Structure 1
Amino acid sequence: MCRFIAYKGAEVTLNDIVISPTNSLVEQSKDAKKRKKPLNGDGFGLSWYPTHDDPFPARFVSIEPAWSNQNLQQIASKVRSQCFFAHVRDASVGMPVSQANCHPFNFQKYTFMHNGRLDQFVKFRRSILNQLSNKAFDLVKGNTDSECIFALFLDTIEFADNLTTDDIKHALYLVIKKIIDIRVATEANTNAFINLAVSDGTSLVATRYATDRNSQPASLFYGVGALELTSEKDFSLHGANTNKTAIISSEPLTEEDTDWVKVERNHSVVVDKDNNVYSERVPVDYQT
């Protein structure tokens, strides 16, 4: 399974969060600490919201491993943003390594990524595609379960671009319910790992979810506070009521344990437009 970072807060270079820390996403691409298979070398991607007056995010993806791509180093050291996603991929068995399958995925204001897999996807892929509107169907360029989930999300919000944080949160919960219902209808009874993240550049919602009651979802952590960049590798997050930064990550990025909170099983992390952060249970019952 993949590793990802979702960031919203103080303006920084992508390098400060994605590359510099002790357990950066680049480090996780070659030696992840919170999963059995440490390698995530089947491509990577960045999506960031510009600091100038442009609501649509940029996207850069590659099928190369993150640890060896010189363009990633250059872009991350120069681009500054207050909201961005980063992802390193471990392709599911049978899934091609291609740019079309690299996360994050974008449509207009929205950025989306997935860490996990929908087991037995071939069994119900057509069922998901059949539910999509023509507009959503035409957006699917690759063949991953993740991109189908994003298309399902866009249909769920009816492609609206003026949603509140609660709107986005409830839509993401409804997408999880739709996935479970489709899996039940097609007798796909094994586990589905559904760690999702979505943002419109203003709000950010991520989930840590698994459908099998006997399995743990993929790891997910978050940190919140006043961001302090240092001359060392690691940044710090200091508790504060203002100037908050929120970082959601598959693994803690720094060695300071007190900066990171583990997201509970089948819970979400929600960041609103003012960077207020809370975690809550995803109100969708698992079925297996």
Structure 2
Amino acid sequence: MRGIKVHLHITTTTTTTMCRWFAYIGEEPILLEDVLIKPKHSIVKQIDAHFLPNLHVTYDPHLHQRTLSSGVASDEHGPNHFTNVDGFGLGYYTGVAAEFNGDNVNRPCVYKNVRPPLNHFNLISLCAHTSSKCVFAHIRAATSLSSAVETNNHPFVFGRYLFMHNGMISSFLKIKVALLQKLSEKAYTNIFGTTDTEHVAALFFTHLGNDWDTELPMETLKKTMIKTLQGVLSLFQETTKENNETLLHSSLNFAVTESCQLLAAGPTLNRKYPDHPDGKEVKKKTVKTTHDYGKHTIVASEPNTYKTKDWHLVPQNSFVLVGKDLNVVIETISL
């Protein structure tokens, strides 16, 4: 079954203290080990230091300003293993459930754990023997009083959809009650954790409707995300006005996908093809040539391969839309 492949990403800023995320979608299966484990700067090793700092915008909450970082690709300082260790989550599609259920609904498989992923042997074994065309991965840095438990790890599942977030929603506890009142019963009962992200995801799927197993066009998903953002911003404004407070900075980098086939990686992330994610010489004979590889897209909080030219900084307040044809469109968000 070839269904709609959708990856929707909203970005404002990337900071040095947030979670890390990785999303890939492509035409052919990719071994999870090649994208999540093997690269020198794969997501399981992205803890604190930036690999390509010149591709990052840093927000300083104390100075209330954004700065475009400068520098070259480097892992010299190594990761700080005491940061971003509040949980790891992985979501991917295989089509197996749809095949055995006979309903043609490709729901995702999700693996979550609060152990550090770099030394998690079960995760390493899973990735070494699993392939997919669409993958979401996330390393969590807990915010506020939200517990470091598996139910709080991204991505979150709503039917056939995956939803994840890189950032934080300021003063979430102040808008939480009002947000809950806007949720449908189905979306509310699908919340299993305490994070701001899962509650906003529930608001998104409230606006999307009660059928989360149907393939929907990109335009519908885009309009739903805009409505969700408008709702969250409205709650912020109402709360700050009532309490005579200043509207605090929030980073609303959301991603949602629905697919019968999951994200895949480029030639540098697939051992069937030449090149190496870390720029090393490939000595073994490869199965296919680079030109044989199909369309594919990665959206990530930071690069995990060495070639700077392969990565592009997404402007803040933008959509990254990857549709059924796997063509990428970047649009400005108008609220």
Match of 2:256 among 198, 201, 204: 198
SS at structure 2 position matched to 1:163: coil
Matches within 5 A, 1:174-253: 174-187=227-240, 189-201=247-259, 229-230=270-271, 233-234=276-277, 243-253=294-304
Residue equivalent to 2:86 = 42
Structure with higher Rg: it is 2
> What is the identity, as a one-letter code, of the residue corresponding to 1:78?
H
Give the share of equivalent positions with the same residue, in percent. Answer: 31
Q: In 2, distance between residues paired with 1:229 and 1:235? A: 12
Q: In 2, distance between residues paired with 1:109 and 1:11? A: 19
Q: In 1, distance between residues paired with 2:132 and 2:193? A: 27
- Residues 249 and 26 of structure 1, relative CA distance in 2, 3 Å threshold: same
Q: Give yes or no for the alignment of 1:57 onto 2:115.
A: no
Q: In 2, distance between residues paired with 1:224 and 1:83? A: 9
Match of 1:162 among 209, 215, 221: 215
CA drift at 1:198: 0.2
Greater strand percent: which structure? 1
CA drift at 1:59: 0.5
Unpaired runs of 5+ in structure 1? Answer: 205-222
- Residues 282 and 227 of structure 1, relative CA distance in 2, 3 Å threshold: farther
CA drift at 1:128: 0.7
Range moving further from structure 2, 161-170 or 36-45: 36-45
Structure 1: 4+ residue segments shifted above 6 A: 223-228, 238-242
Residue equivalent to 2:72 = none
Unpaired runs of 5+ in structure 2? Answer: 1-17, 61-78, 99-105, 280-288
Q: In 2, distance between residues paired with 1:266 and 1:93? A: 24
Q: In 2, distance between residues paired with 1:162 and 1:256? A: 35
The TM-score with structure 2 as length reference comes to 0.73
Q: In 2, distance between residues paired with 1:17 and 1:224? A: 7
Q: In 2, distance between residues paired with 1:6 and 1:79? A: 16
Q: Give yes or no for the alignment of 1:29 onto 2:29.
A: no
Residue equivalent to 1:18 = 36
8 Å CA contact 2:31–2:270 kept in 1: the answer is no
8 Å CA contact 1:22–1:255 kept in 2: the answer is no
- Residues 246 and 235 of structure 1, relative CA distance in 2, 3 Å threshold: farther
8 Å CA contact 1:7–1:248 kept in 2: the answer is yes
Range moving further from structure 2, 48-57 or 242-251: 48-57
Residue equivalent to 2:282 = none
8 Å CA contact 1:30–1:41 kept in 2: the answer is no
CA drift at 1:52: 3.9
CA RMSD between the two structures:
2.8
